[in-house]
Chains A and B, each alone.
Chain A
Amino acid sequence: MIKITFIDSFGEKRTVEAEEGSTVMETAIRNSVPEITAECGGACACATCHVYVDPAFLPLTGGPSPQEEDMLDFAYGTQPNSRLSCQIKVTPELDGLIVTTPPRQG
């Protein structure tokens, strides 16, 4: 079973089970994780599922695609480890993934 930990902007941790092939955003929405809005429903067309990926997992998730970079321009408080969680596919290697949500999505 693949597990993902979401840390909210207050530092509260929530570890939930994720399904292989789904996305980190979908995992958050299915488990009512706060601070992920996902206004466009996963189309990489807004920037309201912005997360900071734990640097240890960056080599596994990789960086944003050019289209995702464009969308990140609309996100607030971007950092070098910023990703849109709808663009991170859940794979077995990502078991244990830790992402932090920003205080504001848009």
Chain B
Amino acid sequence: MDESIKTDVVIVGAGPTALFAVFELGLLDIKAHLIDVLPRAGGQCAELYPEKPIYDIPGHPMITGEGIVEKLLAQIEPFHPTFHFEQMVTEIEVLGQSQAPAFRVKTETGRAFECKSLIVAAGGGSFQPKKPPIEGIEAYEQESVFYSVRKIEDFRGKNVVIVGGGDSALDWTLNLQPVAKHLTLVHRRDEFRAAPHSVKAMRELVQAGKMELRIGQIVSLSGADGKISSARIKSAKGELGELACDRLIPFFGLTMKLGPVANWGLNLHENLIPVDTAQFETNVPGIFAIGDINHYPGKLKLILCGFHEGALAAQKIYRYVYPDKKLVFQYTTSSTSLQKKLGVA
């Protein structure tokens, strides 16, 4: 395991609210590390609607999900935030007292952080793979059902069934076909979202008799002791068939789940974290919650509200990070010291 990373603030999440919090903290000389389960910054804006226009960002009559993320990243560039992607925060340990909070934060990949404050900006929770609604699928999840591929060797010599029509499904079809005993791709229609060149490569393998493509949906699984032996497939016309299967990999996209946030000792209100509206602090002093994941009377799940919440949280965090200093409120338009931090003075 790495040495723990010492920083002022750890931000859980890297969506728009988290990114703007970096800016507000940066103006106050507070350094931040951001941790996100996705492979890039942007949260829902990047994952759910990168190309969709957003019309309610102040000062931008229209901007896309991707556009706002790009601009936020440019805006926080002077503060050099450090991103840790593709990992979930799993544990938070309280080290300090309420007057001088300190925390140890661990991620699922074993990375550890020590910080004085934490900002939970986790939106709707973390993006996790959607599970198909096949009865009893959970019983096979350790041995036979996988929602991602970590080791190709686990699939060598197996009857592999992949479900889906996007890039993940097609990429893994092409990657696992050479090692699998037999590979079947199952998709609900004979059209694919995936990149045309991988669809073409897949169709060539089917033509050559090296794999099978079945149009339909998996409706049930048979097996014993956590191991699948066959999968039942239903065609669009309702015909049933059996597939030899000992490894099933469904790719049904991602959904948001609250995940480990529920285990951090924070009060929860219908899967949201209650905060006060002066500082956006949770019931645990030093842990703040901003953006879609928090709750207070009148809460609106808007990006612009998340920006406001980050700005106010930063004021309180300053007192934890610099307990002996006095915070003087300044404007970026007139303060030379702020302009120096931004690299413009």
Give chain A's interface residues, CB within 8 Å of chain B. 39-40, 43, 45-48, 69-70, 72-74, 76-78, 80, 103-104, 106
Instruction: Please tell me if B188 contacts chain A, counting CB pairs below 8 Å.
Output: yes
Instruction: Please tell me if B130 contacts chain A, counting CB pairs below 8 Å.
Output: yes
Bound form: Cα–Cα A77–B234 in Å: 10
Instruction: Please tell me if B178 contacts chain A, counting CB pairs below 8 Å.
Output: no
Contact in complex: A40, B48 (CB < 8 Å)? yes
Instruction: Please tell me if B157 contacts chain A, counting CB pairs below 8 Å.
Output: no
A56 to chain B, nearest CB (A): 20
Option from B44, B193, B256 in Cβ contact (under 8 Å) with A73: B193
Instruction: Please tell me if B189 contacts chain A, counting CB pairs below 8 Å.
Output: yes
Contact in complex: A45, B52 (CB < 8 Å)? yes
Option from B48, B124, B189, B253 in Cβ contact (under 8 Å) with A69: B189
Contact in complex: B255, A73 (CB < 8 Å)? no
Contact in complex: B191, A80 (CB < 8 Å)? no
Q: Can you report 24 residue pairs joining A to B where beta carbons are below 8 Å apart?
A: A39-B255, A39-B256, A40-B48, A43-B48, A43-B49, A45-B49, A45-B52, A46-B48, A46-B253, A47-B253, A69-B189, A69-B191, A70-B166, A72-B188, A73-B164, A73-B165, A73-B188, A73-B193, A74-B253, A76-B132, A76-B252, A77-B133, A77-B217, A106-B255
Q: In the complex, which residue of chain A has the Cβ closest to the Cβ of B237?
A: A80
In the complex, chain B residues whose CB is within 8 Å of the CB of A78: 188, 217
Bound form: Cα–Cα A51–B224 in Å: 34
- Please report which residues of chain B, range 30-79, place their CB below 8 angstroms from some CB of chain A when the two chains form the complex: 44, 48-49, 52
Across the A-B interface, give the 6 residue pairs with the lowest CB-CB distance, nearest first: A74-B253, A45-B48, A70-B193, A43-B49, A45-B49, A76-B133
Contact in complex: A106, B48 (CB < 8 Å)? no
- Please report which residues of chain B, range 155-170, place their CB below 8 angstroms from some CB of chain A when the two chains form the complex: 164-166
Q: In the complex, which residue of chain B has the Cβ closest to the Cβ of A76?
A: B133
Bound form: Cα–Cα A71–B44 in Å: 16
Instruction: Please tell me if B327 contacts chain A, counting CB pairs below 8 Å.
Output: no
Bound form: Cα–Cα A22–B165 in Å: 31
Residue of B132, B165, B255 with most chain A CB atoms under a 10 A cut-off = B255
B250 to chain A, nearest CB (A): 11
In the complex, chain B residues whose CB is within 8 Å of the CB of A77: 133, 217
Bound form: Cα–Cα A29–B47 in Å: 23
Q: In the complex, which residue of chain B has the Cβ closest to the Cβ of A47?
A: B253
Bound form: Cα–Cα A76–B252 in Å: 9
- Please report which residues of chain B, range 218-265, place their CB below 8 angstroms from some CB of chain A when the two chains form the complex: 236, 252-253, 255-256
Instruction: Please tell me if B295 contacts chain A, counting CB pairs below 8 Å.
Output: no
In the complex, chain A residues whose CB is within 8 Å of the CB of B48: 40, 43, 45-46
Bound form: Cα–Cα A82–B76 in Å: 43
B162 to chain A, nearest CB (A): 13
Given known contacts A73-B166, A74-B253, A77-B217, A106 and B130 CB-to-CB distance under 8 angstroms: yes
A104 to chain B, nearest CB (A): 5
Bound form: Cα–Cα A28–B44 in Å: 23
Bound form: Cα–Cα A74–B193 in Å: 11
- Please report which residues of chain B, range 165-211, place their CB below 8 angstroms from some CB of chain A when the two chains form the complex: 165-166, 187-189, 191, 193
Bound form: Cα–Cα A78–B234 in Å: 11
Q: In the complex, which residue of chain B has the Cβ closest to the Cβ of A79?
A: B236
Option from B49, B52, B189, B252 in Cβ contact (under 8 Å) with A74: B252
How would residues 9 to 22 of chain B score, 1 for a CB under 8 Å from any chain A CB and 0 otherwise?
Answer: 00000000000000
In the complex, chain A residues whose CB is within 8 Å of the CB of B253: 46-47, 73-74
A92 to chain B, nearest CB (A): 27
Contact in complex: A43, B133 (CB < 8 Å)? no
Q: In the complex, which residue of chain B has the Cβ closest to the Cβ of A37?
A: B255
In the complex, chain B residues whose CB is within 8 Å of the CB of A39: 124, 255-256
Apart from A45-B52, A73-B189, 9 more pairs, CB < 8 Å: A39-B124, A40-B44, A69-B189, A70-B193, A73-B164, A73-B166, A74-B130, A74-B253, A77-B217
Bound form: Cα–Cα A92–B255 in Å: 34
In the complex, chain B residues whose CB is within 8 Å of the CB of A46: 48, 253, 255
Bound form: Cα–Cα A72–B164 in Å: 11
Contact in complex: A73, B187 (CB < 8 Å)? yes
